[in-house]
């Protein structure tokens, strides 16, 4: 059942407006993350920052194939998923800085953005920690006949966790509307995935009878096409799917991971940047198809830059939670 997605299966039913929206969403994530990098290096952001730069086509390609009320779960590298599902940069930055105005009143931070309004069940800092949650959300959708789909984003590091296979087995047994999206950015922290991953990745899913697909994670059109198919299929009651997206983490494991040559070469990084940047390549395609010219895209970029500047300003100026917040919401 393992198939490599057909690169020609990319444009059916997608109009210019949608393409431009995808461009905007990808660029929003890129600029958001560049601001995170800046905030972190200026010591304005506490904790850790795991940047999604380079992987934008996956979050956007998948989330643009979903309904607003569909569920997603995310990871420690989760800003992209949250934004692609509709989160506001303002409330995201506020959360990243630990401010009360943030999505989680400052109590979750970068690795735990959650937002019921956009179907975001939460980013999770335990690798594969949200697999059960996403599968459970799919069980609710099926039981309550809501027509919703749940998408579980995780990196290839999660392939090492047994709970993933327990849940895929359950999802296939019960034909649950859940899509497991594996973002293989090639590095499990500081270790190449080939050192941690035996055998064929999609075959692990297809062994359960789960529909498995592989796609170029740098190609937003390809990701969107296959995600649309898988979401439609799940909504029709045809069961779960596993989508392997091959991609690359342009930056370090976290912002402080600067000297990376002990685990990957500069040459490799430069090659990915030069040949496989999802935003640059998509912009070229938009121009080649006359869907947009340089000035249209430039306008989007500058609008987003202004929005991000304002969002950062809001978050930096926002107050921290009061001391009385510390023991609120331990119990419902």
Separation between Cα atoms, residue 7 and residue 202, nearest integer Å: 18
| Adjacent-strand bridge partners of 180 | 152, 242
Buried b or exposed e, range 121-145, using 16+ CB within 10 angstroms? bbbbbebbbbbbbbbbbbbebbeee
Contact status, residue 219 vs residue 278, Cβ threshold 8 Å: yes
Separation between Cα atoms, residue 170 and residue 96, nearest integer Å: 35
Q: Residue 276's Cα: distance from chain center in Å?
A: 18
Q: Does 323 bind other proteins (CB under 8 A)?
A: no
Q: Residue 131's Cα: distance from chain center in Å?
A: 14
Nearer to other proteins, 106 or 278 (CB): 106
Nearer to other proteins, 165 or 285 (CB): 165
Nearer to other proteins, 105 or 264 (CB): 105
Q: Site for other proteins (CB under 8 A): how many residues?
A: 45
Q: Does 47 bind other proteins (CB under 8 A)?
A: no
Q: Does 114 bind other proteins (CB under 8 A)?
A: yes
Tally Cβ neighbours within 10 Å of residue 33.
Answer: 26
> Closest separation between CB of residue 239 and other proteins, Å?
15
Parallel, antiparallel or unpaired: strands 211-216 and 191-192: unpaired
| Adjacent-strand bridge partners of 245 | 183, 215
Q: Does 329 bind other proteins (CB under 8 A)?
A: yes
Nearest to 177 by CA among 136, 205, 208, 212: 136
Nearer to other proteins, 142 or 211 (CB): 142
Per CB under 8 A, which of residues 133..152 are in contact with other proteins?
133-141, 143-144, 146, 150
> Closest separation between CB of residue 196 and other proteins, Å?
19
Per CB under 8 A, which of residues 152..211 are in contact with other proteins?
162-163, 166-167, 169-170, 173
Q: Of 196-204, 212-220, 297-305, 324-332, which segment contacts other proteins by CB under 8 A?
A: 324-332
Nearer to other proteins, 130 or 247 (CB): 130
Q: Which residues bind other proteins (CB under 8 A)?
A: 71, 102-108, 112, 114-116, 121-122, 124, 126, 129-141, 143-144, 146, 150, 162-163, 166-167, 169-170, 173, 328-332
């Amino acid at each position: 059942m393992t198939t490599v997605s057909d690169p020609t299966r990319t444009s059916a039913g997608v109009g210019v407006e949608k393409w431009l929206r995808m461009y905007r969403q990808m660029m929003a994530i890129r600029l958001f993350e560049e601001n995170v990098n800046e905030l972190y290096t200026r010591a304005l952001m506490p904790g850790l920052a795991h940047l999604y730069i380079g992987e934008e086509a996956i979050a956007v390609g998948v989330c643009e194939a979903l309904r607003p009320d569909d569920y997603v779960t995310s990871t420690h590298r989760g800003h992209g998923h949250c934004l692609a599902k509709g989160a506001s940069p303002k409330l995201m930055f506020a959360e990243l800085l630990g401010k009360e105005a943030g999505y989680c009143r400052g109590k979750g931070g970068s690795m735990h953005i959650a937002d019921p309004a956009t179907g975001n069940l939460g980013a999770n800092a335990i690798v594969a920690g949200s697999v059960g949650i996403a599968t459970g959300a799919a069980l609710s959708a099926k039981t309550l006949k809501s027509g919703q789909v749940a998408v579980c984003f995780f990196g290839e590091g999660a392939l090492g966790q047994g709970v993933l296979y327990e849940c895929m087995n359950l999802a296939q047994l019960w034909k649950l509307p859940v899509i497991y999206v594996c973002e293989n950015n090639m590095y499990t922290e500081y270790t190449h995935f080939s050192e941690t991953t035996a055998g064929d990745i999609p075959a692990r899913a297809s062994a359960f009878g789960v529909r498995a697909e592989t796609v170029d994670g740098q190609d937003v059109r390809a990701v969107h096409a296959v995600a649309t198919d898988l979401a439609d299929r799940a909504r029709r009651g045809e069961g779960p799917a596993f989508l392997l997206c091959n991609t690359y983490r342009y930056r370090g494991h976290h912002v402080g991971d600067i000297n990376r040559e002990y685990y990957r070469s500069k040459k490799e990084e430069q090659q990915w940047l030069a040949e496989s940047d999802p935003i640059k390549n998509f912009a070229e395609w938009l121009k080649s198809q006359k869907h947009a010219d340089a000035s249209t895209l430039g306008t989007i970029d500058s609008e987003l830059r202004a929005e991000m500047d304002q969002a950062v300003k809001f978050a930096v100026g926002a107050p921290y939670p009061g001391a009385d917040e510390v023991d609120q919401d331990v119990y419902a």
